[in-house]
Structure 1
Amino acid sequence: MFGLIGHLTSLEHAQAVAHQLGYPEYADQGLEFWCMAPPQIVDEITVTSVTGKTIYGKYVESCFLPEMLANQRVKAATRKVINAMAHAQKHNIDITALGGFSSIIFENFDLEKMSHIRNIELDFRRFTTGNTHTAYIICQQIEQAAPQVGIDLRQATVAVCGATGDIGSAVCRWLNTCLDVQDLLLVARNRDRLLELQAELGRGKILDLMEALPLADIVVWVASMPKGVELSIEQLKRPSLMIDGGYPKNMATKIQHPQIHVLNGGIVEHALDIDWKIMEIVNMDVPSRQMFACFAEAMLLEFEGWHTNFSWGRNQITVEKMQQIGEVSRKHGFQPLLLNPQ
């Protein structure tokens, strides 16, 4: 059995969803209540591969909200993630993906040291960040969506914002190895890590965000926007392709221009309908088939019987592992979300 650990985008979103899911005791409560709320299994999932194999899973709502980090409730945020993991393991789930902020919180706050939760010793082999599949799907979106908008990758400049993160560095490795892009721009806050990545790749220009944007035919966002920074159409090349790999995805509402094409990054579509409710709650366009690629990684690992932490640790994703998860992704009927034809 596979599991998915997720969370909602805001307190307001959580209150609305609590009504939908039949948890009225959660629906009118404020942030203090959500800081104390325990994890809940709120969805049972059935997925069938195009190979004919059927698997079953559970969605664990962690009750984490981004406002917890914004309001300096770090202990509450870390407790949410680690308790959700313990809840999944207690229910004998073999492999569970950490969705949204869950994997970021786990890595940034070094939660691997908190392996003992009440009477449960966490077995980290049962969990995956899903970042390998996410990085692979973003790279496929670059390769397949660029021609849709008239961008020739061989002559294109690609900026990766958040280049030193787990997903960002993996995307850079793929662009450097598998796609013949003309220029690669590396954007991140930590210059030492940028220099290390540049040395590893043997290429790439290190630029500030505002320097990179006017030069980029394709911008891959896998980091949060710096505080106080607002994008304007005048800063962006036209035509250009913007791949929004963040969560929640809101770039399409901020940037609207016929020559600036925004694609929700790291989203996959399955060939067959999935029996679940949860993707309606996170407002997927086709909730019966679309999902975050990190969640799909848990499904792929269950389909293949690979009950191991396939994606784990910071900056450990190799091109070979991306190719490996990409092969089974195609095998079981997943494909990257692309732009709607005009």
Structure 2
Amino acid sequence: MFGLIGHLTNLEHAHAKAHELGYLEESEQGLDLWCAAPPQVVDHITVTSATGQKIEGKYVESFFLPEMLSQRRIKTAIRKILNAMACAQKEHLDITALGGFSSIIFENFNLSANKQVRNVELDFSRFTTGNTHTAYIICRQVEQYAATLGIKLSEATVAVCGATGDIGSAVCRWLDRKTDVQDLLLIARNQERLNNLQTELGRGKILGLEEALPLADIVVWVASMPQGVDISAIPLKNPCLLIDGGYPKNLDTKLAQEGVSVLKGGIVEHSLDIDWKIMEIVEMDVPGRQFFACFAEAMLLEFEQWHTNFSWGRNQITVEKMEQIGAASVKHGFQPLLTV
């Protein structure tokens, strides 16, 4: 059985959903209530593969909210993720995906040093970030949707914002090795990591946002937006494909320019309806079939009985592993979301 660990977008979203579900008192409470709430299983899931195989899973709500990443609440954020992982393990889930900020918090704050969570010793082989499948889906979105805009990869400049992150570096490796993309622009905040990535690839130009974005035919955005940065006035090409691979997905409001097509990056669409409720809560356009690629990775690992932390550790994603999870994705009926 597989598991998914997730959370809502922000406190406002949490209030709205609590009100819709009839929890009127909770819908009016401040952040302290959500900080105190323990993780719990809130959905049971049945997924049918294109092959006819069926699997079951559980969704664990961590009750983490991004507002908890403020300096005074960072310990709460860490506790939320560790407690959700312990909850998943106590449910005897064979492989669980860390969705949204869960994997980011785990890696950025080195939570692997915290194996003991009360009476549970975490077995990290039971968890995956889902980043390999997310990177694969984003790359397929680039390849497939660019063609609909008349953008030829062999003549295209692709800017990757967040290039040194786990997903960003994987996207760069794929575009370098699996496509004939003309130019890669590498954007990130850590200069040393940028230099290392450029050396690894043997190509790529290191540029800042304001310099890189106007040059790009395709922008892959897999970074968090730096606080106080306004990119709305940066002119983009027409046409330009913008893959919004961040969370929450809101670049369509920040770069609303003529000729710019914004695609929700890292979202898959299944060929069959999934029996679950959770995607209605996170407001997917087609909640029975559309969801995050990181969640799909846990399903694929369950379908294939690959009960291992397939995606784990920073910048460990190889093109070969992307091809492996990609083949399983196609086999079981998952495809990249290609509607803007």
Deviation at 1:32, TM superposition (A): 1.1
Q: Is 1:7 aligned to 2:17, yes or no? A: no
1:205-224 mapped onto 2 (5 Å cutoff): 205-224=205-224
Report the Cα distance in structure 2 between the residues aligned to 1:279 and 1:339, rounded to whole angstroms: 17
- Name 2:319's counterpart in structure 1: 319
**Aligned letter for 1:66?**
P
Q: Which deviates further from its counterpart, 42-51 or 227-236?
A: 227-236
Q: Deviations over 1:261-287 (max 9, x none)?
A: 000000000000001111111111110
The 10-residue stretch of structure 1 (63-72 or 143-152) with the greater mean CA deviation from structure 2: 63-72
Identity of aligned residues (%): 74
Does the 8 A contact of 1:132 with 1:325 survive in 2? yes
The equivalent residue for 1:289 is 289
2:121 maps to 121
Residue of structure 2 equivalent to 1:26: 26
Structure 2 unaligned spans of 5+: none
Could you tell me how far apart the structure 2 residues matched to 1:45 and 1:149 are? 36
SS in 2 for 1:50: coil
Letter of the 2:46 partner, please give it.
Answer: T
**Distance in 2 (alpha carbons) for counterparts of 1:24 and 1:83:** 26
The DSSP-based 3-state class of the residue aligned with 1:235 is coil
Q: 1:249 to 1:216 in 2, by over 3 A?
A: same
Who is 1:59 aligned against? 59
| Residue 112 of structure 1: aligned partner | 112
Q: Which amino acid aligns with 2:143?
A: E
**Is residue 141 of structure 1 aligned with residue 141 of structure 2?**
yes
Is the 1:233–1:257 contact (alpha carbons within 8 Å) kept by the matching residues of 2?
A: no
Aligned to 1:244: 244
Given the alignment of the two structures, is residue 270 of structure 1 paired with residue 270 of structure 2, yes or no?
Answer: yes
Cα distance in 2 for residues equivalent to 1:169 and 1:251: 20
Amino acid at match of 1:112: S
Counterpart amino acid of 1:212? A
Q: Counterpart of 1:224 in structure 2: which amino acid?
A: S
Conserved 8 A contact 1:183-1:204? yes
The Cα of 1:234 is off from its aligned counterpart by 5.0
Larger mean CA deviation between 22-31 and 73-82 belongs to: 22-31
Worse-superposed segment, 70-79 or 48-57: 70-79
Alignment correspondent of 2:338 = 338
Q: Give yes or no for contact 1:43–1:60 (8 Å, CA) kept in 2.
A: yes
RMSD: 1.2
**CA displacement 1:277-318 (0-9 Å, x = unmatched):** 111111111100000000000000000111110000000000
Give the TM-score normalised by structure 2: 0.98
Q: Which amino acid aligns with 1:126?
A: R
Name the aligned partner's letter for residue 294 of structure 2: C
Show the counterpart of 1:153.
153
Contact 1:138 1:171 (8 Å CA) reproduced: yes
| CA deviation vs aligned residue, 1:158-215 (integer Å, no higher than 9, x gap) | 0000000000000000011001000000000000000000000000000011110110
Does the aligned pair in 2 maintain the 1:45–1:275 contact within 8 Å?
yes
Question: Could you tell me which amino acid in structure 2 is paired with residue 201 of structure 1?
Answer: L
Q: 2: CA distance between counterparts of 1:20 and 1:326?
A: 37
* Paired letter, 1:120: V
Supply the distance in 2 between the matched residues of 1:243 and 1:224 (Cα, whole angstroms): 14
Q: Which amino acid aligns with 1:96?
A: T
In 2: Cα distance, 1:167 partner to 1:30 partner: 33
* Secondary structure at 1:146 match in 2: helix
Q: TM-score, normalised by structure 1?
A: 0.97
Match of 2:169 in 1: 169
Contact 1:47 1:54 in 2 (8 A): yes
**Aligned counterparts of 2:100 and 2:51: Cα–Cα separation in 1:** 29
1:6 is matched by which residue type in structure 2? G
